[in-house]
Amino acid sequence: MPEINLWAKDGYLSTPDGNSIYFWGFAKSAAGPAQLPGPNIIARQGETITVNLHNMLAEPVSIAFPGQQVTVEGQPVQPQYKNNRLLSFVNYAEPGGTVAYTFTPSHPGTYLYESGTNPYQQVPMGLYGGMVVRPADYNPDVPEYKTAYGAGTDTGFDREYLLITGEIDPDLHQAVENGKPYRVSKYVPRYWTLNGRCAPDTMLMDHVDYLPHQPYGAMIMGLPGEKILLRYIGAGIDNHPLHPHGAHTRVVAVDGRLLRNGNADLSYKRFTVLVGVGQTYDQIYQWDGLGYTPGNPIPTVLPNLRNMGVGDAGWTMWSGSPYLGVKGDIPVGVVSYNEMGEYYFMLHSHEELQITNWGEFPGGMMTMVAIYPSLAPDIGVIG
């Protein structure tokens, strides 16, 4: 039986504008850093899993697994009370203590896990993470069985990415750090995160050593025509309208439930998906290049370089050529991201304030979808 250990700890988040923010998160080991979001949990349909939560914070902490039937010591999890007052939606670990949650996922899909204790504070502080349940027949080496919901469900994919939304109100985090009271009614997010990071950090690779508490990147990478599975999770306490440029997504499942009844396919295409809090959306993004072929001229006249606005240093996504995999001239002094002449499409919150870091554009809940001329097969693997 797979067993996962999570430690609830504290740490400091880094934001691109130089802020350092106290937070609570789950760590992979007793000595490891707390991370935002918590370690990805990968489970398998029908296989019983136990998650041991070791609480190293100074107040009770728990984990709720929405959509799962969870037991603790053989009994279904239940709300917990102290002095007749609701303390926690599920069984919790006291400071220094441990609690073991056991469940058997009955459905494949994408799920959230999050604190069920003082959630108005502990969830915004960072005690949340994502869980992927593989279908029982999952086999990444056989295309037919490399699916989100099982063979024959039309959910096959070439690469997959988790995108977990969140917000940060620095006042809340500072109040918690200093043991000061915090009025929930004053909640005003200043940072908006994808996988715990704000743009442009969202576009950095996983596990860069200067973001020890934010190990997961949010860069979406693929090849033309590939099926890219985007798993959205709304982990914060605000809703966020997310959309990628370049192609619509096909929403194939919500909250870990395939959108299909019998033979009726209920999947649908969307330009923007409102990522509701606590909800998940599995969707397939496929960029087919508007008739792209390596030799196909693009049916438009490109502006002269002198007439083009070029982004600030570090923000140029133009390779100097309209052709995938080709690099051309760009102005002197401009640094381009395009190492291989790849195409970039934004993926961002359509609430424009949320693509800032404390009001400064660009930033926040934004990343890129990069379409490469060639790409290693180990990119776009959720581990």
Partner 1 sequence: MAIVARIFQAAAGFLSFPGANAIPFWGFTEALADKPQYPGPLIEATAGDQILIWLMRNYLEPIVEPISITFPGQENVLVRKIPWGPFIYEPVKPQYAAGKMISLTNYLDENRDILVEYSFIASRPGIYLYESGTNPEKQVQMGLYGIIVVRPVGYNIPGHPNYKTAYGADTNSGYDVEKVLVLGEIDTVMHNNVVPNVYYDMLDFKPDFWVVNGRSFPDTINEEQISSQPYDAAINCRVGQRVLLRIVNAGFQNHTFYLGDLVGRIVAEDGMPLKTQSLDATYEKTGTTLGSGQRIDIILTPATPGEYYLYDREYQHLVNNDQFPGGMMTKINVR
Question: Residue 264, interface with partner 1 (CB under 8 A)?
Answer: yes
Question: Residue 123, interface with partner 1 (CB under 8 A)?
Answer: yes
| CB closer to partner 1, 90 vs 223 | 90
**Residue 124: CB minimum distance to partner 1, A:** 7
What is the C-alpha separation between 145 and 138, in angstroms, rounded? 5
Residue list 12-31, contact with partner 1 (CB under 8 A): none
Going 246 to 191 to 5 to 216, the CA torsion angle's sign is positive
Q: Rg of the chain's alpha carbons, rounded to an integer?
A: 22
| CB closer to partner 1, 69 vs 139 | 69
| CB closer to partner 1, 32 vs 276 | 276
Question: Residue 90, interface with partner 1 (CB under 8 A)?
Answer: yes
Distance of alpha carbon 69 from the chain centroid: 24
Question: Residue 59, interface with partner 1 (CB under 8 A)?
Answer: no
b/e map 105-126, b = 16+ CB within 10 Å: bebbbbbbbbbbbbbebbbbbb
What is the C-alpha separation between 191 and 362, in angstroms, rounded? 12
Question: Residue 151, interface with partner 1 (CB under 8 A)?
Answer: no
CA–CA–CA angle 161, 166, 172 (5° rounding): 155
What is the C-alpha separation between 80 and 220, in angstroms, rounded? 41
**Residue 115: CB minimum distance to partner 1, A:** 10
| CB closer to partner 1, 65 vs 343 | 65
Considering only the stretches 14-22, 35-43, 240-248, 271-279, report the one whose residues sit in contact with partner 1 under the rule CB under 8 A: 271-279
What is the C-alpha separation between 216 and 40, in angstroms, rounded? 9
| CB closer to partner 1, 124 vs 130 | 124
How many Cα atoms sit within 13 Å of 254 on the Cβ side?
13
The secondary structure of residue 173, as a DSSP letter, is H
* Backbone φ, ψ for residue 372 (5° rounding): -100, 155
Task: Look at residues 49, 40, 334 and name the one whose alpha carbon lies nearest to residue 163.
Answer: 40
**Residue 100: CB minimum distance to partner 1, A:** 17
Q: Which of 21, 70, 228, 230 binds partner 1 (CB under 8 A)?
A: 70
| CB closer to partner 1, 168 vs 199 | 168
Residue list 277-296, contact with partner 1 (CB under 8 A): 277-279
Q: Which of 266, 290, 305, 353 binds partner 1 (CB under 8 A)?
A: 266
What is the C-alpha separation between 280 and 285, in angstroms, rounded? 16
Considering only the stretches 28-36, 129-137, 182-190, 353-361, report the one whose residues sit in contact with partner 1 under the rule CB under 8 A: 182-190
Q: Are 23 and 126 in contact (CB under 8 A)?
A: yes
Question: Residue 68, interface with partner 1 (CB under 8 A)?
Answer: yes
Q: Which residues bind partner 1 (CB under 8 A)?
A: 64-70, 76-79, 85-86, 89-90, 118-121, 123-124, 183-185, 187, 237-239, 254-257, 259, 261-262, 264, 266, 274, 276-279
